Amino acid sequence: MPYKPPKNPRIEELTKSYRERSYTIGNLDLVKRSDGTDGCIWCGEKLKSKHWAARYCDDPECARSIYAWSNPQKDQGRQYLLDRQDYVCNICKYDWKMHSYWPDDRQPEVDHIVPISKGGEALGLDNHQAICKTCHKAKTKIDNSGPRKKK
């Protein structure tokens, strides 16, 4: 399941500035296209639906991608990260594809590469990786030590 990169410049701006763990996509405005029509909040393509609540074009990847972008630690985001990493833990290289059952300490979890407290991005998938529970616990211990970035 491929991740469709955003074409809405507001998405990039929010990724760099928003510091919470998730974002309410209902607050994201439709893209105003040059022809005066409303565009998809993710890619800017013309909306085909005339329904008042329509926010996405007909491409189902737009809705999936924005849910992964806005909530990278939920199922949709974790799935994109696992696909991107070919189902391998980024730290210990545990291969989830090689096992039909994942022990509790090897369950995949989503980790901020650079912690939010140290200036990392909360939204989007660029600052996130899938790592096993054991690696996540050890990395979090290291991440929580040392100085935090001042607000």
Chain segment 67-76, per-residue pLDDT in tens? 898 888 899 8
**Which residue shows structure tokens 């439709």?**
30
pLDDT recorded at residue 22: 63
Rounded to 5, what percent of the chain is helix, strand, coil? 35, 10, 55
Percent of the chain with pLDDT over 70: 95
**Which residue shows structure tokens 């970035």?**
149
Where do the structural domains in the chain lie, given as residue ranges? 9-143
Q: Give me the helices (H) in 85-118, please.
A: none
pTM exceeding 0.75: yes
Mean pLDDT of the chain: 87
pLDDT recorded at residue 4: 86
